[in-house]
Amino acid sequence: MPNKKELGLAVVGCGVVGRIRATLAKDFPGIGWIGLSDMNERVGRHLKDDIDADYFTTDFRKLIVRPEVDAVIVATSTWGHVEPTLASVDAGHMLLIEKPLATDARESAAVLEAIQNAGVDAVVGYTQRFRRRFLVVKERIKTGQIGDVTAAVTRAFMNRMAPTGEVRLTQDRRYLTPMVVSGTHSLDMCLWLMGDAAKPVSIYARSTEKVMSELGTKDATFGVFTMEDGTIWSMNICWALPKEWPGAVYGLEIGIVGTKGVIDIEDTHRDVVLASELPQGPAYNPDGLTIDVVRNVDFLTSFPPGDMYGGELWGPMREETNSWFQRIYNGKSTPHATAAEGHRNLLLTMAMDLSAKRGMELELPIDPAELMAGLEA
């Protein structure tokens, strides 16, 4: 049997997530060439040296059209996904795109249409799907252990470090809301767990912005979705907890009630607590951000991508990335979020923001142009 051709991988964006995924690519036997791109030459060349990558450029377009490239990871900042994604689609490459597809619903729709028209395999980075606890819950619901879902509740708590880091990079902060940037993870998780029957037909939401308004964003958004079959789902997020809060980023609780049972998920990471006289440092500390905070208590295992051991990341992002390599190299079926699901998630998070802005219930689905017109009004 002839040896299978090794793949060439392009990583666009060499920050925290791009570095994690590129480092894992270095050790995957099916990837024989790695190219990198980042607007920050220092950051990009540092990663190139660390993993001995084959190529680096500050222009992602030059990277994507290289003849060695078969697949692309888009790991740029939140608002920078559209152009490298469309360039990769034009080149016919397989894609792993960090969420969201876009920060504008109309652009997200255009990206999805381009992906579907080109027929390329494109998935979106919803890392928490690859955690053991959620995979086992998905299997139990899928096999009917709680019957038909009738109600669900999702609550996410975050400290202020993540939004502080996110908003510092842009002056256009209209859509960098707790739902669009972070609530999308818990929204995706709950919809994925509930399955294909979860089809939202309306949303009523409210927001508050007493603390984070100085950064141009909201503190919290709470909402209630009603599904096509009458199921109700409460979806809540607050990312304005004090910076001293021990959770690195995300503390999540999900309850799903069915006709034959219930599943209650406590994912607040309070089962492994470290208290020390030594400062633990900021939990979220991307390049170029200085956060003045003293943390002496930490909820271990609360950093969503995973945890470091022996100089390597272990956890869901490792599983997600290596599973994607198996997907593109061996054709393996994986639980990644599809581009269509990524687009749906953006529309629903933005619909929550629009409902909160108007103070009224919205019918779903909503047209992307109508959604953006309402948010921009």
Query: Residues 225, 235: contact at Cβ < 8 Å?
Result: yes
Closest of 124, 27, 10, 136 to residue 61, by C-alpha:
10
Averaged pLDDT for residues 107-124: 98
Output the pLDDT for position 180: 87
DSSP string covering 314-365, please? ESHHHHHHHHHHHHHHH-----PEEHHHHHHHHHHHHHHHHHHHHTS-EESS
Percent of the chain with pLDDT over 70: 93
Output the pLDDT for position 104: 94
Report whether pLDDT(320) > 80: yes
**How confident is the model over 9-34, as pLDDT tens digits?**
999 999 999 999 999 999 999 999 99
Closest of 312, 331, 273, 322 to residue 127, by C-alpha:
322
Name which of 237-241, 318-322, 325-329 the model is least confident about: 237-241
Report whether pLDDT(287) > 60: no
Q: What share of the chain is helix, strand, coil (3-state, %, to 5)?
A: 35, 25, 35
**How confident is the model over 62-72, as pLDDT tens digits?**
999 999 999 99
Angle at 84 between CA 82 and CA 87, to 5 degrees: 105
Output the pLDDT for position 102: 95
Report whether pLDDT(173) > 80: no
| Beta bridge partners of residue 258, listed in sequence order | 149
CATH no., domain 132-304 = 3.30.360.10
- Max Cα-Cα span within the chain: 64
CATH no., domain 7-128+319-338 = 3.40.50.720
Query: Residues 64, 16: contact at Cβ < 8 Å?
Result: no
Output the pLDDT for position 168: 62
Output the pLDDT for position 349: 96
Strands 7-12 and 362-363: unpaired
Report whether pLDDT(283) > 80: no
**Residue extents of the structural domains in the chain:** 7-128+319-338, 132-304
Tokens of 147: 């019957």
